[in-house]
Amino acid sequence: MPKMLSVITAFPTRLMVGAAVAISSIGASTANAAGIGDVATDVKGQLQGIGDLVVAGAFLGGLVLMGAGLVRLKAAADAGGVQVKYSEGLWRLGVGGGLVALPAITGVGADTIFGEGGGEAASIGDIDID
């Protein structure tokens, strides 16, 4: 049991070492032909790809949860809320809706922080009414 506990407590350290080795191997493979700036750009692009994958997975997971929520609500309606509670379907719908909205939320957050897209806000004087 103590050995199992030491394996579990050492996991974060092993994970960080593995990530450091992976990033350095990516850098070493491109460092011969490019400078440190190009290596940093490559690592940044790969990390953005991982983020996009996580957001897409959350969106698909949200769709699945929303479908499961609708099925549970249908089962609760058929049972009159006795065997299957309405709350089982409602929490699935809520969490699924949040996961489906995640790409829009991250897009707005990134645009707010980094200032991309959107441009300047229109004012009343900019609108032509002809």
pTM tops 0.75, yes or no: no
CB count within 10 Å of CB 54 equals: 12
Rounded CA-CA distance 130/126 in Å is 13
Instruction: Judge contact between 109 and 75, C-beta under 8 A.
Output: no
pLDDT tens figures, 12-51: 777 777 777 776 766 555 555 567 777 778 878 888 888 8
What is the distance between the alpha carbons of residues 70 and 76, in angstroms, rounded to a whole number? 10
Give the dihedral of Cα atoms 19, 20, 25, 26; nearest 10 deg. 70
What would the mean pLDDT of 115-129 be, rounded to a whole number? Answer: 52
Grade residue 2 by pLDDT with cuts at 50, 70 and 90.
low
